[in-house]
Amino acid sequence: MHGQTVEVIAQRILTGQFAEGSTLDITALQTEFDVSLTVLREALKVLAAKGMVDARPKRGTFVRPRADWSLLDGDVLRWQFARSAQPSLFEDLHELRGIVEPGAASLAAVRASEADVAALDAALAAMAAAGTDASAAVAADLAFHRALLAATHNELLVRMEVVIETGLAERDRMVHGALGTDDPVPSHRAVVDAIRARDPGAAASAMRLLLKKAFDDVARIGS
Amino acid sequence: MHGQTVEVIAQRILTGQFAEGSTLDITALQTEFDVSLTVLREALKVLAAKGMVDARPKRGTFVRPRADWSLLDGDVLRWQFARSAQPSLFEDLHELRGIVEPGAASLAAVRASEADVAALDAALAAMAAAGTDASAAVAADLAFHRALLAATHNELLVRMEVVIETGLAERDRMVHGALGTDDPVPSHRAVVDAIRARDPGAAASAMRLLLKKAFDDVARIGS
DNA sequence: CTGTCAAGATATCTTCGTAATTAATGGTTA
DNA sequence: TAACCATTAATTACGAAGATATCTTGACAG
């Protein structure tokens, strides 16, 4: 498959190599990637679906303004980080988590079912069991935040997991396996305890504390 | 363009007419819409970009599990509401706004520039000028919430406008031009005042109040 | 007799080169 | 000046050939 064609063009747009408003030279891209028009066309169709390009007869295929790009799309987020780390985007991402996740925790405290709490407990256990295995720790962390969003029983909130997922992946890449100074389990357990106690305010507070710790870790190690 | 082909197939998937995991009969769709394979293929490529379908050689093109759909995508949101109003999704949407917008207001209180505040004031003025013109009122409302997100200077938060936009459009459709009982300007002005005063907590509270009022209006009129 | 494995057949997606359609452009005429 | 029509550059659509992963079949070993 020529799946990499999409990715390369996307990254050129995201990095500004293909500026907003500029028209793409289809023929040049065709010869560069050595693919048929159909292949290129389908790649551009994917980017069009994500609001990054638009095609009009006689005017050509051009890059849409950045304001129209689906930055909340999982693919777009990954493409952004794939080439080079973008500190500002990472900060935006963490900031969004800082808003969404405490709210989600609060909601989960009201809505969580027994099964939801069990899933959170399981993620907690996996986190404890991970120990020094960085990859397992990241997986458990992701499972925890996924379970939290699922516990809100709000489909749109659940889809925010693409943002959290990318944030965790990027954080993991930045700290490069270097674990946080202190055990992550207690801060996570505090969230679960608050949810089990059906205390929305406490759940939100615990989650804010958790996120602050996580971000401080990155700032310390990354600097 | 056969843009409607995408929309029809998308809606069939979203409504469950094409169940998760089921494989699509390409030939049947081709004859039904009377389009070539290429056209159908590009339509499916768009849906694939939004995580709704996947194609594998020999296995066919099948509907991906609902958990993979990009529900935060503007097109997907519109398609969901296009056919029939989905109360639960509307509630989810409002709930998400209830989490994101107070947080955004709080952030805006810290970050907003003079220009941002001016934009909020302009939206406020437009809202006052709209009077009984429902369409102008909706436009001003949208402009206000857009300006608020922009004032956070967080690109990802700004992109949440697709969610807010859909929410407002659907609310407008539900109340069908029937304006809220009381003037919307004061509640909105309270948010701007708090931002101008650089008071994050007050901004968040004012926004929560605003959203509660808006939702109550819908609940009252919609019932 | 049963389970495992490998090689071939096949259904489906994928790609190609060419023809048709579209809309912006520039010149012409009333 | 304004409306209209031919030109033309680009997207859009087509039908057929190519590639690929899956399924089937058969043989072999346990």
* pLDDT at residue B177 in the model: 64
CB of A22 lies under 7 Å from some atom of strand D:
no
The answer to whether B111 and B151 are in contact (CB under 8 A) is: yes
Q: How confident is the model at residue B223 (pLDDT cuts 50, 70, 90)?
A: low
- Chosen for mutation from A41, A47, A88, A159 (greatest number of chain B CBs closer than 10 Å) is A159
B191: tokens are 């948010």
Rounded to an integer, the average pLDDT of B23-50 is 95
pLDDT recorded at residue A144: 97
B41 touches strand D (CB under 7 A): no
CA distance A127 to A139: 8
3-class SS string, B35-103: CCHHHHHHHHHHHHHCCCEEEECCCEEEECCHHHCCCCCHHHHHHHHHHCCCHHHHHHHHHHHHHHHHH
Strand D and A88 CB separated by under 7 Å: no
Per-domain boundaries in chain A: 1-68, 74-222
Chain B contact probe: residue of A91, A99, A165, A170 with most B CBs at under 10 A: A99
Report which of residues B40 and A84 the model is more confident about.
B40
pLDDT at position B99? 98
What would be the CATH architecture of the domain defined by A1-68?
Answer: Orthogonal Bundle (1.10)
What was the pLDDT predicted at A179? 61
Our measurement of CA A57 to C1' C28, in angstroms, reads 25
What span, in angstroms and rounded, lies between the C-alpha atoms of B104 and A24?
36
| D20 closest protein residue (CA to C1') | B57
Pick the CATH number of B74-222 from 1.10.8.80, 3.30.70.330, 3.40.50.300, 1.20.120.530: 1.20.120.530
A131: burial class by Cβ within 10 Å (0-12, 13-18, 19+)? Answer: exposed
Q: What is the pLDDT of residues B50-70, one digit of tens each?
A: 999 999 999 999 999 999 999
Q: Which of A45, A73, A163 sits opposite B45 (nearest CB)?
A: A45
Contact between A72 and A162 (Cβ < 8 Å): yes
Res B181 pLDDT > 70: no
Q: In this predicted model, what pLDDT tens digit does every residue of B87-138 receive, in sequence order?
A: 899 999 999 999 999 999 999 999 999 999 999 999 999 999 987 788 898 9
Token pair 């804010």: residue:
A208
Whether B146 has a pLDDT exceeding 80, the answer reads yes
> How far is C-alpha A24 from the chain's CA centre?
28
Q: What residue has token string 């958790």?
A: A210
What is the full per-residue pLDDT of chain A (223 aa) written as tens digits?
Answer: 577 899 999 999 999 999 999 999 999 999 999 999 999 999 999 999 999 999 999 999 999 999 999 999 999 999 999 877 788 999 999 999 999 999 999 999 999 999 999 999 999 999 999 877 888 888 999 999 999 999 999 999 999 999 999 988 888 888 776 666 678 899 999 999 999 999 999 999 999 999 999 888 888 876 5
Q: What is the pLDDT of residue B78?
A: 94
User: Chain B residues within 8 A (CB-CB) of chain A?
Assistant: 38, 41-42, 45-46, 48-51, 67, 69-75, 89, 92-93, 95-96, 98-100, 103-104, 107, 154-160, 162-163
Tokens of A101: 């996740």
pLDDT at B179 over 90: no
Q: Do domains A1-68 and A74-222 have the same CATH topology?
A: no
Which residue in this structure is represented by tokens 């099964």?
Answer: A115
Instruction: Name the residue of chain A whose CA is nearest to B57's CA.
Output: A1
